[in-house]
Structure 1
Amino acid sequence: MAHAQLPRSKAFSGFVDSQHEPGTPCISPKRLSQALGVKLADLTQLTGVHRNTLRNPSSERLQGRMREIVKVISAAMELTGDIDKAIYWYRNEPIAGYGHRSAAELVADGQVEAVLAFMRDLENGARG
């Protein structure tokens, strides 16, 4: 059965597709760590999961945390227009209103909604 593709930018679509673990409906921890420029073992810090969780890539907790990372990078991509800039921002840009912590640090601490709210504020400020 074919599935419908929702519209999204070509660059981001390519990024999401490149994170797919072939033969599964899962995000590949190895591929995501490569895209983020970190060692696989360091992905545990970015996802906030125990290192042993990486042994079970289909773990719902791990998959959920990786989906959060992809969600924030998607929003950053909409703001920056470039996947590399979005990943750089995610990993490195300090956010003043959150103790100068990066989006990656905040997401690892489970503060995805705070990061998305910050990004909505940026987008709304840029538009109006």
Structure 2
Amino acid sequence: MKSTTIKTSNPSYEEFLYSLQDPEVPAPALSPKRFGVALQIDMQTLAEQAHVHRNTLRRAPTTASVQRHLRESIKAIKAAYAISGDLNKALLWYRNDGIEAFEFKTAEELVSEGRTEDLLDYLMSLQAGFVG
């Protein structure tokens, strides 16, 4: 009987970021599709979070509103990665961990609500040891 080993990949933040670049777009744009795959978010949910029609993700992925949402999400993930040093933990936290200081909303929900700066301030205070 052959044993199977589950191999987990934990790329660096930089590898993760560059994996999100859309090769089909000449500008340095983030790919909504690649972001969705990386975070296991379907395109309808991602469109709702970015406050755009789902067709916008496919037809106009470089629009300001789509790219803004992706960049804000990446900022939160990068801040979480800076604290944990583990990309998989940062991604899990971003999508699933309700934050008590924000009425148990997740970072993903806060970014969708336009509260990225509040979230980043909170994470910086955690990193400095002021709250938590």
Would you call these one fold, judging by a TM-score over 0.5? yes
Residue 47 (structure 1) shift: 2.4
Alignment-derived partner of residue 7 in structure 1: none
Query: Residues 37-52 of structure 1 correspond to what in structure 2 (within 5 A)?
Result: 37-52=40-55
Q: Relative to 1, partners in 2 of residues 1:34 and 1:112: Cα closer, same or farther, differing over 3 Å? A: same
Structure 2 gap ranges (5+): 1-10
Residue 87 (structure 1) shift: 0.5
Alignment TM-score, normalising by the size of structure 2: 0.83
CA contact (8 A) 2:50 2:65 kept: no
Residue 50 (structure 1) shift: 3.1
Inter-partner Cα distance in structure 1 for 2:52 and 2:84? 28
| In the alignment, structure 1 residue 125 sits paired with structure 2 residue 129 | yes
The correspondence for 2:109, drawn from 105, 108, 113, is 105
Inter-partner Cα distance in structure 1 for 2:12 and 2:117? 24
**RMSD between superposed Cα atoms in Å:** 1.5
What are the Cα deviations for residues 13-59 of structure 1, in whole angstroms up to 9, with x where unaligned? 10000000014311000000011111122211332333232131010
Alignment-derived partner of residue 4 in structure 1: none
The correspondence for 2:35, drawn from 19, 32, 36, is 32
CA contact (8 A) 1:48 1:109 kept: no
CA contact (8 A) 2:97 2:106 kept: yes
Alignment TM-score, normalising by the size of structure 1: 0.85
CA contact (8 A) 2:72 2:116 kept: yes
Percent identity over paired residues: 38
Higher helix share: 1
Larger radius of gyration: 2
Alignment-derived partner of residue 77 in structure 1: 81
